[in-house]
Amino acid sequence: MEQDLSKVTPLVYESRIGVPYNWWAGKTASRFFETIAHDKKLAATKCDKCGKVFVPPRKTCPECFVDTNSWVSLSGEGTVVTFTVVTRKLAALGKRNPPVIFALIRPDGADTAMLHILDNIAPEKVHTGLAVKPVFSENPKGHITDISHFEPV
């Protein structure tokens, strides 16, 4: 048998793994989505120890490591902390077509920011500190996309 491997063509087995998942949001996050559906407001949790207000709401303050037992209601109006304009059809864009503006938005009254999409604004007009408001989707499904996008106030 030929000892040399130089003439061997390396083969490839093309395959795919498809695994269905059910990600449970938990009751704390579920209240956020219920509040959008019923009141068109953002439900945030507040740490009674340090006073920080969290959006997305969390059950435990990561810094104090105590449960957050208080809830506050926010309009969702807030400011752009930072952003990027995706100008190429990156694989991660999925069904969206560039340009797509991703932004971290700090809702007024919150100490954290939330990741979302900015729309109804020309990409070159976006800047840090821009005042924005949420636009809620017509048919809430219990997903973060129940906020369709944010747009200038």
Q: How far is the CB of 44 from Zn ion (least distance, A)?
A: 13
Residue 41-60 contact track with Zn ion, rule CB under 5 A, x = bound: ------x-xx----------
Q: Which does 23 bind (CB under 5 to 8 A by kind): another protein, Zn ion, none?
A: another protein
- Cβ proximity to another protein: between 70 and 82 the closer is 82
8 Å CB contact between 50 and 112 = no
Record the tokens describing residue 38, joined without a space.
């019923």
SS3 content of the chain, % helix, strand, coil (to 5): 15, 30, 55
Q: How far is the CB of 112 from Zn ion (least distance, A)?
A: 12
64 binds Zn ion (CB under 5 A): yes
- Between vectors from CA 89 to CA 87 and to CA 95, what angle results, nearest 5°? 115
* Interface contacts to another protein, rule CB under 8 A: 5, 10, 12, 17, 21, 23, 25, 29, 55-56, 58, 62, 81-88, 90-93, 100, 102-104, 112-117, 123, 127-128, 143-145
Alpha-carbon distances of 17 from 3, 14, 90, 95, 111, rounded to whole Å: 36, 11, 22, 21, 39
